[in-house]
Structure 1
Amino acid sequence: MKMKKLIAALSMVSMLAVAVTGCGSSKDTSADASSDANADTKTEQSGSEWDSSNDITIVSREDGSGTRGAFIELFGIEEKNGDEKIDMTTEEAQITNSTSVMLTTVADNEYAIGYVSLGSLDDSVKAVKIDGAEATAENVKSGTYKVSRPFNIAVKEGLDNEVAKDFINFIMSEEGQSVVEENHYIAIDDVKPFEGTSPSGKAVIGGSSSVSPVMEKLIEAYNKLNPGAELELQTTDSTTGMTSAVDGSYDIGMASRELKDTELSEGLQATVIATDGIAVIMNKNSSVDNLSSEQVKSIYTGEALTWDEVIE
């Protein structure tokens, strides 16, 4: 009997020992799982951080774009070969054919860099400082932000379209220039109140996609004063704007740059309707907030390939 009791006691002790060991294993497994979960969270957080070792995605505009022409000139991304200027933009650059596509492309890529008209800038991307100056209309006007260019319209000498002429008078009036200023561009000084003649008929305006947004606002404002006029806006590029003004396809051509000597020699008369900055843009997740002019040049000529080559 005593032996049976001893065996039973020993069995009980063994069962308790196993139970205690099992509880200990369960506790350790739970702690390990918690530790692994924390590690995974840290890995995910680390993965979401902007990494300067990544390649730079360079985004540029198409040939013929006035914004591209002004950009490469202002940042020295061109070389002179006699009277010819050679665009040195790297062949690795992605090419976009409009301001809206440029904004979307940069907004969708954390390591992208691009450029747009300051007046077209929206909150889908961020504009970086250039040489320490913020890209604002006030800084363009004061000369602190030096990356700027004129917005031009051009007509063929001897223009006889009364609607086009009246519309140009509106653009260059106090009322027209207030529209320019309201849309974050630099207005022309010393303008007078509009004195229109309210002609009826149609005029075609076309060219630069950078000038197009403010031109659309100018057309809306003019139509309120002269509903009998039909103004058709075609958004293409600066070069097309000038060639189409020469051949008569457009009554008014738009260019987001100075006119070339060859264009002026073909009988075009240019008028500056506003001054615009060019904003260098990056994805909002980027850690880069300030670039020098030389850094921008090194990126667009392909000298710098990764972000840590630029910012470190």
Structure 2
Amino acid sequence: MLKKNLQKTMAAIAMVATMITGCSQGTTNVRVDGLNSLGKINIISREEESGTRNVFAQKLGILDETTGKDKIADQCTVADSNEAAYEKAADDKSAIAYVSSGVDLDESKVKSITVTGSDMTRSFYLAYKGEMSDVEEDFIRYIKSEGQKKVSEKYTTVADPATFLSDKAEGKIKIGGSTSVAPLVEELADEYMKLNSNATITVIATDSGNGLSGAMEGTYDIGMSSRELKSYEDELLTKVEIAKDEVHVIVNKDNPIERITIDQLADIYTGKVTEWSQLNATAEEK
């Protein structure tokens, strides 16, 4: 009798868990009022060398890991920075975009929607070739210690903030790459140079691919990347994780949608779903 009661209890728990999971999987189990009036979905994506685009496509399961190419629809509107993607979503009620958590979202213009079925976090890296100079080592030590306080203001830390004492190394550092990582590194550089007036750090925002190739070729002393390094990059460069970020999916404030599943998002970005009304059509079929 005890065994049968236990089996019934476990079955009930499993049923409740299934119901909860089903509800949490997203928006189109119920009809979203106002969605049909939005018409065609205007998908906003980053440029091909963007680390944010690479990570986003990987999370959606539409990235070819061998070639590094993704299946994002050719008819997407391309934005060359997080800020540009944000502005396009703010100006178009039918748009959908993705940005770094470092972007300050004005809720009177855009909103972040919940994505179910995938973890949208990623790492920010600094990468260099060969041996670091004394001033580069000192800067990295700052980032991994006291600099984590600055990281914690918008991102997730990768080390416990600790007291930092600069060795006052002299020199210049040229850093280039990811537009997502650049704002954070600029702030870290400014704070570090207050502690070490002998250092001069220049930060150039381009994209992750450019930053990593620049570090390999010597154009930059340090490259910035918001994606994982490819195998050949990993062989030639040493990477240092400085923060963890989350990719946010955003829509215009007038869009009534609040959550979406990772599969629905993949269908939108590959062009399988082109109208907002198709999400409601899916809901009506369930």
Q: TM-score range by the shorter chain?
A: 0.7 to 0.9
Q: Which residue identity does 1:179 align to in structure 2? A: K
The aligned residue for residue 87 of structure 2 is 104
The aligned residue for residue 117 of structure 1 is 100
The aligned residue for residue 165 of structure 1 is 137
Q: Which residue identity does 2:139 align to in structure 1? A: F
The aligned residue for residue 3 of structure 2 is none
Query: Could you list the per-position Cα deviations for residues 138-192 of structure 1 after superposition, in whole angstroms to 9, with x for gaps in the alignment?
Result: xxxxxxx711110011011222x2222211111111x10010001x100013454
Out of 43, 50, 60, the residue aligned to residue 58 of structure 1 is: 43
The aligned residue for residue 131 of structure 1 is 116
Cα distance in structure 2, aligned partners of 1:146 and 1:125: 21
Cα distance in structure 2, aligned partners of 1:248 and 1:293: 39
Q: Which runs of 5+ in 1 are unaligned?
A: 1-48, 133-144
The aligned residue for residue 95 of structure 1 is 78
Cα distance in structure 2, aligned partners of 1:311 and 1:60: 23
Alignment of 1:238-277 (within 5 A): 238-265=208-235, 267-277=236-246
CA contact (8 A) 1:50 1:285 kept: no
The aligned residue for residue 148 of structure 2 is 177
The aligned residue for residue 168 of structure 2 is 198
Q: When the two structures are superposed, what TM-score results if normalisation uses the length of structure 1?
A: 0.75
Cα distance in structure 2, aligned partners of 1:121 and 1:115: 13
Change in 2 beyond 3 A, CA 1:57/1:233: same
CA contact (8 A) 1:206 1:234 kept: yes
Query: Could you list the per-position Cα deviations for residues 185-237 of structure 1 after superposition, in whole angstroms to 9, with x for gaps in the alignment?
Result: 00013454213211222111110000011111111211111122111010000
Structure 1 vs Structure 2: percent identity of aligned residues? Answer: 37
Query: Could you list the per-position Cα deviations for residues 217-264 of structure 1 after superposition, in whole angstroms to 9, with x for gaps in the alignment?
Result: 111211111122111010000010101111111111100011111112
- 1:127 deviates by 0.5
CA contact (8 A) 1:125 1:284 kept: yes
CA contact (8 A) 2:98 2:248 kept: yes
Q: Which runs of 5+ in 2 are unaligned?
A: 1-33, 282-286
Out of 241, 247, 255, the residue aligned to residue 286 of structure 1 is: 255
Which has the greater radius of gyration? 1
Cα distance in structure 2, aligned partners of 1:215 and 1:227: 17
Higher relative contact order (CA 8 A, sep 6+): 2
Cα distance in structure 1, aligned partners of 2:276 and 2:75: 15
Out of 147, 162, 181, the residue aligned to residue 211 of structure 1 is: 181
Q: When the two structures are superposed, what TM-score results if normalisation uses the length of structure 2?
A: 0.82
The aligned residue for residue 193 of structure 2 is 223
The aligned residue for residue 76 of structure 1 is 61
Change in 2 beyond 3 A, CA 1:234/1:245: same
Cα distance in structure 1, aligned partners of 2:38 and 2:167: 61
CA contact (8 A) 2:178 2:208 kept: yes
Change in 2 beyond 3 A, CA 1:249/1:214: same
CA contact (8 A) 2:212 2:233 kept: yes
CA contact (8 A) 1:120 1:213 kept: no
The aligned residue for residue 146 of structure 1 is 119
- 1:85 deviates by 4.5
CA contact (8 A) 1:50 1:110 kept: no
Q: Quick check: 272-281 or 145-154, which moved more?
A: 145-154
Q: How many residues align?
A: 246
Cα distance in structure 2, aligned partners of 1:171 and 1:69: 25
CA contact (8 A) 2:267 2:273 kept: yes
The aligned residue for residue 7 of structure 1 is none
RMSD between superposed Cα atoms in Å: 1.7
